[in-house]
């Protein structure tokens, strides 16, 4: 036996209930009953906490990947700058204009190569991850 209950709901809520009932091919009363039961069930909070926990875990893993990628980028840039300072000497004043023109050309080539790598889906972090797997496989053997 079911009891009758009169509710006042916004037109938007009614439209949502109607749409869901049509999709699920059930009555509007069944949709409302399922929603109320879901809300008042003792394990409602457990399901909600579980969903939030899973989302937080996913966000944490994503942030850890971002942090790792940022560290790799910083270290790669630092190593490059150290190597460049160690291997380059100051440019004499008379050769400065020529060196700047050559630098602009090399920078243009660098940007083109970078754009090509990005377009192809390549990245330093992916290459390092592959190298790590290869090293781990060799160590495990």
- Provide the whole-model pTM: 0.53
Q: Residue 125 and residue 117: Cα distance in Å, rounded?
A: 12
Q: What is the pLDDT of residues 58-109, one digit of tens each?
A: 999 999 999 999 999 999 999 999 998 899 888 899 999 999 999 999 999 9
Residue 117 CA to residue 141 CA, distance in Å, equals: 33
- pLDDT for 141 equals 67
The model's confidence at residue 13, banded by pLDDT at 50, 70 and 90, is very high
DSSP code for 26: S
Q: How far is CA 117 from CA 89, 112, 113, 114, 129, in A?
A: 30, 9, 6, 5, 16
pLDDT digits (tens, 9 = 90+) for 114-134: 999 889 988 888 888 888 888
Burial code (b: 16+ CB inside 10 Å, e: under 16) for 41-75 equals eeeeeeeeeeeeeeeeeeeeeeeeeeeebeebeee
């Amino acid at each position: 036996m079911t009891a009758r209950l009169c509710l006042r709901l916004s037109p938007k809520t009614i439209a949502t209930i109607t749409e869901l009932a049509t999709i699920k091919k059930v009555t509007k009363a069944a949709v409302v009953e399922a929603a109320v039961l879901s809300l008042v069930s003792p394990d409602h909070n457990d399901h909600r906490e579980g969903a939030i926990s899973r989302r937080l875990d996913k966000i944490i893993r994503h942030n850890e990947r971002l942090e790792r990628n940022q560290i790799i980028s910083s270290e790669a840039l630092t190593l490059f700058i150290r190597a460049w300072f160690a291997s380059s000497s100051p440019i004499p004043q008379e050769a400065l204009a020529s060196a700047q023109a050559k630098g602009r050309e090399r920078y243009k080539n660098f940007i083109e190569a970078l754009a090509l790598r990005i377009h192809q889906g390549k990245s330093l972090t992916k290459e390092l991850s592959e190298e790590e797997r290869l090293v781990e496989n060799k160590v495990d053997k």
